[in-house]
Amino acid sequence: DTAVSQTPKYLVTQMGNDKSIKCEQNLGHDTMYWYKQDSKKFLKIMFSYNNKELIINETVPNRFSPKSPDKAHLNLHINSLELGDSAVYFCASSQDLPGVRDTQYFGPGTRLTVL
Amino acid sequence: RKEVEQDPGPFNVPEGATVAFNCTYSNSASQSFFWYRQDCRKEPKLLMSVYSSGNEDGRFTAQLNRASQYISLLIRDSKLSDSATYLCVVSVMDSNYQLIWGAGTKLIIKP
């Protein structure tokens, strides 16, 4: 059983396109996250939702829009893709609010390449 | 100054040796601290939380020094399988939630 799953695993697309990445967790956790890890391997949080409420909204272009239809799902939609959006995007979940002594469980990542 | 800093390495260490690395943080209001491990082309996984009193899990020991604002990770009797990137995470909860990740320290254990 996969705890945190993401689809697709690989995404290759042209500049200017719009794409979505989906994430689902079956752990019953209340909090979900989107991270971006660029080519320099620096992992940066983008968004976090707790019970479908946005609680972390870091400075990212408004071309990125998260959506949480329920607490088990957190999707990421990206409009007008740019070359600099190429990265690995990780979804994660945790039982509690961010930073509480609590493990984050990560999905396998979505490797996005913008051509 | 970066909010969370780590020596990127790589640390090249012979099998069986002891290795330690630190992670410094700038916000004195930081509350929770963690070490994660990330293997090449894989997702990060929690290695251990870092408690004020320090904690140990087998060959791994994590410590927190609030006065000097750093956390440390010590690995004893290193194994080839310990080769990975070790990421520290610091959380701050004031008016906003913040989770700040270090850029990671790459460790290579050599036979």
Q: Looking at the DSSP assignment, which residues form a beta bridge with residue B93?
A: B97
Q: Give contacts of A106 with chain B, Cβ < 8 Å.
A: 43-45
pLDDT tens by residue, chain B, 111 residues: 568 999 999 999 999 999 999 999 998 888 889 999 999 999 999 999 998 888 999 999 999 999 999 999 999 999 999 999 999 999 887 777 788 899 999 999 999
B98–A48 C-beta distance less than 8 A? no
For chain B, state the CA radius of gyration. Answer: 14
Taking one residue from A and the other from B, the number of pairs with CB-CB distance under 8 angstroms is 56
A10 touches chain B (CB under 8 A): no
DSSP at A84:
G
A106–B43 C-beta distance less than 8 A? yes
State the average pLDDT over residues A54-81: 92
pLDDT value, residue B99: 84
Q: DSSP states of B39-99 as a string?
A: -TTS-EEEEEEE-TT-EEETTEEEEEETTTTEEEEEE-S--GGG-EEEEEEEEEESSSEEE
Exposure string over A68-95, b if 16+ CB within 10 A, otherwise e: beebbbbbbebeebeeebbbbbbbbbbe
Q: Give contacts of A107 with chain B, Cβ < 8 Å.
A: 43
B12 touches chain A (CB under 8 A): no
Residue B91 has its nearest CB partner, among A40, A43, A98, at A98
pLDDT value, residue B60: 97
Cis status of the peptide bond prior to B14, with omega within 30 of 0: no
pLDDT value, residue A1: 63
* A111 touches A88 (CB < 8 A): yes
pLDDT > 70: what percent of chain A?
97
A7 touches chain B (CB under 8 A): no
B85 touches chain A (CB under 8 A): yes
For B96, other C-beta atoms within 10 Å of its C-beta total 11
A45–B101 C-beta distance less than 8 A? yes
Task: Please give the torsion angle defined by the CA atoms of residues B1, B90, A4 and B107, in that order, rounded to the nearest 10 degrees.
Answer: 70
Measured in residues, chain B has a length of 111
A76-95 residues touching B, CB cutoff 8 A: 90
pLDDT band, very low/low/confident/very high, at A102 (cuts 50, 70, 90): confident
3 state SS of B15: coil
Structure tokens at B78: 């290193």
For A67, other C-beta atoms within 10 Å of its C-beta total 15
Residue B2 backbone phi and psi in degrees, to 5: -70, 150
pLDDT value, residue A42: 83
Question: What does the alpha-carbon distance between residue A84 and residue A57 come to, in Å, rounded to a whole number?
Answer: 19
pLDDT value, residue A103: 85
User: What burial class does residue B75 get, using C-beta atoms within 10 Å of its C-beta: 0-12 exposed, 13-18 middle, 19+ buried?
Assistant: buried
Q: Is the pLDDT of residue A64 over 80?
A: yes
B43–A108 C-beta distance less than 8 A? yes
User: What burial class does residue A50 get, using C-beta atoms within 10 Å of its C-beta: 0-12 exposed, 13-18 middle, 19+ buried?
Assistant: buried
Round the average pLDDT of chain A to a whole number and report it. 92
pLDDT value, residue B1: 59
Interface test mutation site (partner A, options B7, B35, B43, B87, max chain A beta carbons within 10 A): B43
A109 touches chain B (CB under 8 A): yes
pLDDT tens by residue, A5-50 = 999 999 999 999 999 999 999 999 999 999 999 887 788 999 999 9
